[in-house]
Every structure is written in structure tokens, then in C-alpha cells.
Homo-oligomer: A and B are copies of this chain.
Amino acid sequence: MSTETLTGEMFLGASRHRGGAGEVSGVDPRTGETLSPAYGFADAADVDRAATLARDAFASYRCTAPDVRAAFLESVADRTAAAAEPVVARVVRETGIAEPRVRGELARTVTQLRLFAGVVREGSHVGARIENPLPDRTPLPRPDLRQRKVPLGPVAVFGAGNFPLAFSVAGGDTASALAAGCPVVVKAHSGHPGTSELVAAAIAGAVAEHGLHEGVFSMVYGGDEVGAALVSHPAVAAVGFTGSRAGGLALVALAAARPVPVPVYAEMSSTNPVVLLPAALAARGAALGAAFVTSLTTGVGQLCTNPGTVVALDGPGLEEFLGAAAVAVTGSPAQPMLGASTCAAYARGVAALRAHAGVEEVAVGGADDTITSAGPAALFTTDAETFLADRALSQEVFGACSLVVRARDEGQLTAVLRALEGQLTATLHADPADHPLARDLMEVLEDKAGRIVVNGWPTGVDVGAAMVHGGPFPATSDGRSTSVGTLAVDRFLRPVAYQDVPADLLPAAVAPGNPLGIWRQVDGGFGRD
């Protein structure tokens, strides 16, 4: 499908249908131009149809053989890659994200789908455990007990605005849910409706190609009411979301109020503290300052892992850091944010810091009146007392804005870190001489964040087996999970035990002889026999 053939229609299984409950169009944030076509919003019947189809599809999709499910995911990857040119062009128009970044995000999205195909084939995610019977055990014999994880059921996925590919229609939530064996109903993000249609067509094509039940994938357009109807639908068994704290908490509340509550995996809000330790600052304060601004301004700061808080010991090294950072911020060109509302919220956040009596502006980035939704970088400082006294200073300003907190001593630095809310990431810059302090801080940071980075930057999230993109509340609504990396599949699974189930009734994952050849824990030891 090329961008010329965009229809404005939703995907209800294999059917296409233009919604009649309102509409939205993409807007080029660089120019303010409205992009055609307009996308029709789903009504309650459309949402019900998508969710009911997903429930109907679950019975067969959950039982698909690993090779079938993996090949399906690979088809989604292939079809998404094949649509690269129209997809990239549309993303650039709908989001203003620079083309090289979009190409990188597309590659990441395709890689991620293939990674989850690999997860399905490898099979250890089902957590197969076998305890062979012990008929002579006293006082009671042990039965034959086997355990594996099964999919939860249909998953509602909310496309994210800031990653229109990697966290959207065929992004990490969708890929991990499909890998788990869960049908998916996407609520398309209104910021990139055309991109969503192009990617949805890739998924729907793969569903058809592999002869899967059409309800394995649907996608609807709409506002908050559509999202609420989807999360409240009895067929929905879990929710994946990346976005604002307010948006995530609204979904959590809806899911908890259902007659049968369901888990919500909402990735929401994080300022990703960067901690600069004294020896590192003394050795390379200026270099750190320049590198920090590169991380800060990546993606116009619209990344979940954007470094919005810096904590450092006051001193000459910090002055060098701030001097270099100020030069880099001042020299950073204006770039368009994702849209007008994002831009307005960013401007409000920056203005609040600027107006704060205890906060000092260090530098602000370049302006460009020809860009409708520009979000110039902004850097501020404050002292630890002020930071600790005003909770508002630790809240995320979504965009390329950061606040450097000066600590007087190690105790104050630790106090600032302990006062932080839950985070996706925490970064330490430390030279060997800093390691004694770093070792103490590791335990503080482990308790606050899902990922600890040393001598790097939080932006740039590798998609693999060991990644965690999650963290304690409010970074996410469920700190026991990750939305990036192979462990993400675990969000959509639950364990089932099989007691004395005859071999011909056992699922292959725990059947005698290990027909799937997967890693299993048998009587305590791991093996693939």
C-alpha cells in the first residue's frame, strides 16, 4: 500500500470500514498542514466488533504451533520492511521526526518483530517445568506435575505518539502480545493515523497470508471514549500503553473498575536522573556536558528516556560541565515537536521552571519561526535544598528540557536520589576513584529504576534479551515488567499447572520427549532433552 491509497478506514479483522463517530487527520507539525485522508472514529459497535473478533480468534491463535506463530511475526516484519518508503515518508510528514531517525526506528521495529519470532521458536518464555512423579514419597506420593505459561487473552494496545513505529501499531507491545499468543486490538494514535494505516495493512496482510483467524489483529481510530470502551470490554484481557502519566492512570483506573479487572502495562513518566560523580566530573566535565546535550536533544527530547534531571556535586568539574552544556544547548537548532499540544505543554513546563524563584536558566536553544511546533532545548540549575523542597521540580517536562541539581556533599546527593520517584533509567558517570561512592548509590538506584547505565546516556534502548524498559511507579504502572526486550512477552502470560494429565492431553511445551526442543526445568535442572 502506498500513501496514495490511504483510505481513512479502521481494520475490523479482515474488514475495512470508515468510522462515523468523529474523525481526525494527520497534521505536519513543521508547517501546520492538514494531511488527507481524514480517519473516521470507531463507535461502540466497532469497538465491540474488534474485541469480539479478538476473543473468537484467541481460541485458535493461542494454540498455534511456535513455527506458525514465528513465521507470522516474520511476515509482519517483512511486510513492514517492504513498506519502508511510504511508511518513512508518512511518518516524517505526520510527526516531523527527521528521516534518518525514522529509518532507524523502522529498522528497530522490524528487528523487534524478528526478535519476538525468535522468542517464540526458542520457547523458554513459556517457563516449562516438569516434576516427575514420586510414587514412593512419604507421607504422600508426588503426582506428575508440569507447568507452562499460557497467553492471557486479547490485548488492547495504545499506539504511542513519540515512537510512531517502534511503540505503535506493530511496536513492542503488539509484537510481544502476538508472540505470547494474544490477539491484538490497536487503538491508533491520532498523531500518526496514516502511518498507522500503512503498518496495520502489513499486519492484516500477514494474518491473511498465514490463514490465521481474522480477529488476531484489528485497529480502531478514536478519542478517549474509544480507548475507554476498549479497556472496559469484557473480551480484553490486558492493556499496553506508552504515553502520559494522566493517560496511563486513566486506563489503570478503568481496568481496575471492570467486573473482571485486567492488568495495565502503562509506561508513563520518567526524568531519568543522570548522576555525575566527582572524579568523572574533574576528569572530563566539559566532554560530559557536550555529550549530555546530544542525549538531551535527541528526538527533540521527546524520548521516554530523556535525561530530565542531572544530579552532581558542586565544584569546578560541574562548572565545566555546565559551561560546555550551555554552549551545546545554545547551538542546538530548533526542531519541530510532534504536534501543537505537545509543543504547548513543553512551553508551559519550560516557562514554569524559568519563573521559579529557586531555579536559574543556564541556556536555551535556537529559535526558528518557520517551524510551527518548535521546541527549543532548555537547561536550568537549582540547588538540592530547593529541589527537595518542591516536588514539582522532579516532574517530567516532556521535551529537551533538563534541570541540573547541585548537591553540596555526598549526603545531599544521596538524599536527592532517594527523594526521586520511580524511573525508567538512572545513569552514573563514575571514574574508578568514584567507585566506593558508586557502589553505595547502585543500591539506591536499583530501588528507583529499571535500568542502570554507567558512563553512557539513557537515550537509546537496545532491543534484546537483557534490556529492561520499565521501572517503579510512576515510570510505569507495573514495575514488575518491561516493554522493551524479550522479557516483555512475560507481561501477557500466566502459569498453568498440569497434574497427572495423560501424555496425549498435554500441551507440547510440557509433553514427554520435549517435542518442541525447548529449554525446560526438569526435576530442578535445565535442559533441552
Contact = CB atoms under 8 A, between A and B. Distances in A.
Interface of A: 59, 62-63, 104, 107, 122, 124, 127, 129-131, 139-140, 142-143, 145-147, 150, 152-153, 252, 256, 260-261, 263, 421-422, 430, 432, 435, 438-439, 442-443, 446-447, 449-456, 460, 462, 464-468, 470, 472-474, 477-482, 485, 487, 493-502, 504-505, 507, 519, 521, 524, 526
A145 B462 contact: yes
Given A124-B526, A480-B493, A147 B467 contact: yes
Contacts of A502: 430, 432, 435, 454
Contacts of A466: 129-131, 145-147, 497
8 contacts: A131-B464, A140-B460, A150-B446, A261-B477, A435-B502, A449-B496, A452-B499, A487-B495
Contacts of A470: 494-495
A213 to B, nearest CB: 14
A499 B63 contact: no
Contacts of A153: 447
Among A63, A122, A443, A449, the one with the most B-chain Cβ atoms within 10 Å of its Cβ is: A443
B494 A479 contact: yes
A258 to B, nearest CB: 9
A526 B529 CA distance: 13
Contacts of A263: 478, 480
A104 B138 CA distance: 11
A242 B468 CA distance: 31
Given A129-B487, A131-B465, A482-B497, 6 more contacts: A147-B485, A260-B473, A452-B497, A454-B499, A468-B496, A481-B495
B480 A468 contact: no
Contacts of A143: 456, 462
Contacts of A421: 260
Among A107, A147, A451, A526, the one with the most B-chain Cβ atoms within 10 Å of its Cβ is: A147
A453 B500 contact: yes
Contact of A496 (B450, B460, B501): B450
A487 B142 contact: no
A450 to B, nearest CB: 6
A467 B497 CA distance: 6
A261 B495 CA distance: 24
A315 to B, nearest CB: 23
A505 B147 contact: no
A104 B139 contact: yes
A150 B472 CA distance: 12
B147 A495 contact: no
Given A446-B496, A493-B480, A496-B446, A142 B439 contact: no
A453 B499 contact: yes
Given A477-B261, A502-B435, A519 B526 contact: yes
Contacts of A481: 494-495
B499 A480 contact: no
Nearest to A263: B480
B454 A505 contact: yes
A295 to B, nearest CB: 13
A89 B19 CA distance: 69
Contacts of A493: 480
B504 A452 contact: no
Contacts of A496: 446, 449-452, 468
B147 A468 contact: yes
A442 B59 contact: no
Given A131-B465, A466-B131, A482-B495, A505 B140 contact: no
Nearest to A103: B139
A130 B466 CA distance: 6
Given A256-B256, A435-B504, A443-B59, A497 B468 contact: yes
A365 B97 CA distance: 74
Contacts of A142: 462, 464
A447 B460 CA distance: 38
A472 to B, nearest CB: 8
